[in-house]
Amino acid sequence: MGLPERKPASYEDLFDLPEYIVGEIINGRLVTHPRPAPKHAVAYSVLGGELQGPFDRGRGGPGGWWILDEPEIHLMGDILVPDIAGWRRERMPRLPETAWFDLAPDWLCEILSPSTARVDRAEKLPIYARWGVSHVWLVDPDLRTLEAYENQSGRWVLLATLKDDEAVSLPPFDAISFSLGGLWAD
């Protein structure tokens, strides 16, 4: 006798989670993890700050983007919450009225932790590629690295791996440069 078949997770399953838990639906499965640890929160807050002024607001950079922390993205049956995501305003001139986005971002960043790295890499990256996300950055505060990937025909191609306090000037945000070292909580 086999195991009973599990019904796919639904959006309503997310409503029952405690406030301190982030929930996603990945390939029909409810996947949960706690809110980021402080050093991970510092990494995504600082990175978002580096990009927000020049790209979202056009201060010291070209503008033309929406840069958002922890947006909820609905892609058919998958509900994903990347740490940071960006949409070119030419593709999404206005923010949606809903609490989520049903348009895949142009760029996103996942801040890796021991509890999320496997899911981020093995499960979420293929979904992002399938939906046409152009660029993904993976930041690991423990290793002090940033990996930049570009989607080429549905396959992720590694553009660069930066470490410690190297200068970051990578697509799609290569109009500016900033120190990776600012992301690390010491």
Single-letter residue type at 176: I
Q: How many angstroms separate the first and last alpha carbons of the chain?
A: 54
For the whole model, what pTM was predicted?
0.91
Taking CA 128 as the corner, what is the angle to CA 160 and CA 130, rounded to the nearest 5 degrees?
Answer: 115
pLDDT tens digits for range 91-119: 999 999 999 999 999 999 999 999 899 99
- Write down all domains in the chain, each with its CATH number in brackets: 36-69+81-183 (3.90.1570.10)
Q: Is the pLDDT of residue 6 over 80?
A: no
Single-letter residue type at 23: G
The DSSP H or E segment spanning 126 is: helix 125-130
Integer Cα distance of 135 and 157 in angstroms: 9
